[in-house]
Amino acid sequence: MIVVLKKNITASETEQLVQKLKESGCKFQLFGDGEPIIRICTQQPLLSKDFFLSQPGVQDVLRITPPYELARKEPDKPDTVIRVGDLEIEPAHFLMIAGPCAVESEEQIFGIAKQLSRLGVRFLRGGAFKPRTSPYAFQGLEEEGLRLIRKAADQFQMKIVTEAVSSAHIPLVAEYADMIQIGTRNMQNYQLLKSAGKQKKPVLLKRGMNATIDEFLLAAEYILQAGNSQVILCERGIRTFEKATRNTLDISAVPLIQQLSHLPIIVDPSHASGKRSLILPLSRAAIAAGADGLLIEVHNQAELAKSDGPQSIDFQAFEELLASMNELAPFLGKRIL
Ligand code: PEP
Ligand code: MN
């Protein structure tokens, strides 16, 4: 961090600032020639940008490293490998997560798991706790939904990705799930992020629909900082002025996050577009942009789906999508997992 001091800073203001720096344990250097500045070298920002901005005699504060210490990419350090039970998701993998928006019944989740596992999908998604905009909309089967998706996944040797909507539910969801999803509406639920960070299951963190890339990576930082290094990021579209799609897929977030962070980043074209007809082209865009995987909503009877029917694709469309990903993956140095 560079702290630029005012040209007319007094000797006593400088002295007081230096004293506070010494007391904080920050390593720093004071340069007095020309524009007076303090260069602070610290692994963790022991004193915040706001602290310096509120000190008399300080003109400006410039960060030269990003605020997310643990999520940031470091030269010479490999990208994160995610361990899900006996499976390892490596940087060369292209992860396919598929399933319905919500677990609706035993018949529904078993039927979908059976078809997806037949196509080689290893990760089954399905919400048991659903964060719905309206309190009148289907809220999910809760623990019964967790039990059903676990049973279906076990029968077809699949792993489960399912959402936790509150920190109180984390122990319960962690008991059933192989990977815990934190949804867009909860990306800044800091208690939930901390609770997910304190348990051992990998976390799929979706980007807040209004979150900047910095805020997204800082949300991941909460989980890492609480002790869980196993975080997969998911770009799922952001809110813009455009109403023709449910959200706007920020495809540039994919290569940008890969430059900024060692965490894998996958794409959810289902919630990004809200439109079945856009899932295949956006999936192609995602793999071409270098994404580490996809999260796709698939339903056996989308016309009867209790949530997100219009964006859910059927098995035939999913099979076509998978064939397309298999064709494109080698060009990107990826293998489908
Ligand atoms: C979901 O994955 O079904 C979901 C609710 O996603 P998001 O949080 O991205 O809206
Ligand atoms: Mn959904």
**Mean pLDDT confidence for 257-277:** 98
pLDDT in tens, 101-120: 999 999 999 999 999 999 99
Band of pLDDT at residue 4, cut at 50, 70 and 90: confident
Q: How far apart are CA 329 and CA 146, in angstroms?
A: 32
What 3-state DSSP class applies to 248?
Answer: strand
Does residue 100's CB lie within 6 angstroms of at least one atom of ligand 1?
no
**Mean pLDDT confidence for 177-203:** 98
Residue 26 contacts residue 40 (beta carbons within 8 Å): yes
Q: How far apart are CA 114 and CA 73, in angstroms?
A: 38
Rounded (10°) CA dihedral 112, 114, 120, 124: 50
| Pairing verdict, β 231-235 and 265-267 | parallel
Asked, for residue 224, whether it belongs to a domain, the answer is yes
Q: How far apart are CA 145 and CA 62, in angstroms?
A: 49
- Same domain? 23 vs 109: no
Asked, for residue 182, whether it belongs to a domain, the answer is yes
CA distances (Å), origin 33, targets 4, 15, 30, 50, 245: 12, 16, 9, 25, 55
What 3-state DSSP class applies to 278?
Answer: helix
- Same domain? 57 vs 143: no
- Give the range among 54-58, 147-151, 210-214, 282-286 with minimum mean pLDDT: 54-58
Asked, for residue 75, whether it belongs to a domain, the answer is no
Asked, for residue 25, whether it belongs to a domain, the answer is yes
- Same domain? 278 vs 229: yes
Q: Which atom of ligand 1 is nearest to the CA of 207?
A: 9
Q: Where are the beta strands (DSSP E) in the chain?
A: 2-5, 27-31, 37-41, 58-62, 82-84, 87-89, 93-99, 123-125, 159-163, 179-182, 203-206, 231-235, 265-267, 293-297, 335-336
- Same domain? 15 vs 157: no
Q: What is the DSSP letter of 332?
A: G
Q: What's the CA-to-centroid distance between 102 and ligand 2, angstroms? A: 7
Q: How many structural domains is the chain composed of?
A: 2
| Helix ranges restricted to H, 141-265 | 143-155, 170-176, 190-198, 213-225, 253-260
- Same domain? 37 vs 151: no
Residue 224 contacts residue 70 (beta carbons within 8 Å): yes
- Same domain? 126 vs 259: yes
Does residue 266's CB lie within 6 angstroms of at least one atom of ligand 1?
no
Asked, for residue 102, whether it belongs to a domain, the answer is yes
Q: What's the CA-to-centroid distance between 184 and ligand 1, angstroms? A: 6
Using the CB atoms, write b or e for 281-305: b if 16+ within 10 Å: ebbbbbbebebbbbbbbbbbebeeb
- Same domain? 175 vs 230: yes
pLDDT on residue 39: 75
Does residue 122's CB lie within 6 angstroms of at least one atom of ligand 1?
no
- Same domain? 105 vs 207: yes
Q: What's the CA-to-centroid distance between 271 and ligand 1, angstroms? A: 7
pLDDT in tens, 138-181: 999 999 999 999 999 999 999 999 999 999 999 999 999 999 99
- Same domain? 10 vs 124: no
pLDDT in tens, 205-222: 999 999 999 999 999 999
Structural domain that includes position 327:
82-336
Contacts 24+ apart (CB under 8 A), 288-291: 288/328, 288/332, 289/251, 289/252, 289/254, 289/255, 290/254, 290/255, 290/258, 290/332, 291/94, 291/235, 291/254, 291/265, 291/266, 291/267
Does residue 236's CB lie within 6 angstroms of at least one atom of ligand 1?
yes
- Give the range among 57-66, 124-133, 247-256, 322-331 with minimum mean pLDDT: 57-66
* Residue position matching structure tokens 């289902």: 270
What CATH number is associated with residue 236?
Answer: 3.20.20.70
Does residue 126's CB lie within 6 angstroms of at least one atom of ligand 1?
no
- Same domain? 100 vs 217: yes
User: Looking at the chain, how many residues does it have?
Assistant: 337
Q: Which atom of ligand 1 is nearest to the CA of 236?
A: 9
What 3-state DSSP class applies to 178?
Answer: coil
Asked, for residue 147, whether it belongs to a domain, the answer is yes
- Same domain? 53 vs 96: no
Does residue 206's CB lie within 6 angstroms of at least one atom of ligand 1?
yes
* 35 has a pLDDT exceeding 80: no
**Structure tokens given for 299:** 């339903």
Asked, for residue 74, whether it belongs to a domain, the answer is no
**Structure tokens given for 203:** 């976390």
What 3-state DSSP class applies to 288?
Answer: helix
Does residue 334's CB lie within 6 angstroms of at least one atom of ligand 1?
no
**Mean pLDDT confidence for 188-202:** 98
Asked, for residue 73, whether it belongs to a domain, the answer is no
- Same domain? 52 vs 160: no
Residue 17: its H or E element: helix 11-24
Q: How far apart are the first and last CA of the chain?
A: 41
What CATH number is associated with residue 40?
Answer: 3.30.70.1140
The model carries a pTM of 0.92
* Residue position matching structure tokens 């089967």: 141
